């Protein structure tokens, strides 16, 4: 009888005890610039983001779902699975660079990015849009490309990081031999650029 009573008491205490708090998830959803192409994964800015969150005692886990070579179309095709799997509180959307480099139609890029934003919002996630720019030799297309992110952020009412590579784009020594992908030394600056838009979303 006593052992049975003891078990009942333990069971009741377990029911009354608060559930273990699960950390929220930040989903980094980008291309090679966020995937850490050509450098160690622990040196890429999403890994540095996880370190900063821990240092500041912010209860978030970073999931880096970035894929090298990804376009906005590819990102849109897999966003549903990514949201269902990771259930993020925040999505850092950093796609579009490969659309621009390939000269793909910008109306299609905007539509794809808007579709990703809509899906994330329906999944109750906040969205941070990360913009990109193209070299001046792309002419008027480069201007429309950069404007696309500002337009989308305004239409979707999402915060915007204007340019992921701000502060390093004009410094060749901070890029790998392909002149496209930042070195490990450049990653803290990329993190700072993203952090400026991300920090206000963290609760």
Tell me if residue 39 falls in helix, strand or coil: coil
| CB < 8 Å & 24+ apart, contacts of 106-109 | 106/141, 106/144, 106/145, 106/148, 108/72, 108/73, 109/71, 109/72, 109/148
Would residue 181 show up in a list of annotated catalytic residues for this protein? yes
Catalytic position from the list 31, 32, 72, 99: 32
Helix, strand or coil for residue 166? coil
Q: Active site includes 57?
A: no
Catalytic residue from among 21, 57, 170, 178: 178
178 carries an active-site annotation: yes
Query: Alpha-carbon distance 74 to 67, whole Å?
Result: 9
The CATH class given to the 22-201 domain equals alpha beta
Of 73, 77, 181, 192, the active-site residue reads 181
Domain ranges of the chain: 22-201
Q: Under 8 Å CB-to-CB from 200, ≥6 apart: which residues?
A: 159
d(CA 153, CA 131): 9
Structure token digits, residue 68: 């090298």
Q: What is the pLDDT along the chain (203 residues), one digit of tens a residue?
A: 554 445 444 344 434 444 445 799 999 999 999 999 999 999 999 999 999 999 999 999 999 999 999 999 999 999 999 999 999 999 999 999 999 999 999 999 999 999 999 999 999 999 999 999 999 999 999 999 999 999 999 999 999 999 999 999 999 999 999 999 999 999 999 999 999 999 999 98
For residue 157, how many other CB atoms are within 10 A of its CB? 9
Beta-carbon neighbour count of residue 126 at 10 Å? 19
Q: What is the pTM of this model?
A: 0.89
* Residues 8-19: b if buried by 16+ CB within 10 A, e if exposed: eeeeeeeeeeee
């Amino acid at each position: 009888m006593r052992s049975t009573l003891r078990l009942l008491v333990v069971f009741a205490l377990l029911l009354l005890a608060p559930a273990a708090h699960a950390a929220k998830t930040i989903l980094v959803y980008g291309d090679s610039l966020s995937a850490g192409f050509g450098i160690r994964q622990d040196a890429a800015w999403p890994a540095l983001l996880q370190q900063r969150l821990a240092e500041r005692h912010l209860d978030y886990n970073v999931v880096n779902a970035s894929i090298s070579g990804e376009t906005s179309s590819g990102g849109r095709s897999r966003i549903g699975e990514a949201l269902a799997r990771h259930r993020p509180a925040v999505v850092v959307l950093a796609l579009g660079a490969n659309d621009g480099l390939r000269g793909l139609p910008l109306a299609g890029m905007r539509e794809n990015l808007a579709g990703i934003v809509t899906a994330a919002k329906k999944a109750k996630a906040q969205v941070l849009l990360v913009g990109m720019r193209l070299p001046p030799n792309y002419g008027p297309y480069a201007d429309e490309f950069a404007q696309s992110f500002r337009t989308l952020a305004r239409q979707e009412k999402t915060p915007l990081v204007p340019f992921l590579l701000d502060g390093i784009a004009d410094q060749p020594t901070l890029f790998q031999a392909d002149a496209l992908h930042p070195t490990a030394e450049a990653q803290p600056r990329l993190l700072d650029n993203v952090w400026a838009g991300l920090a206000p979303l963290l609760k």
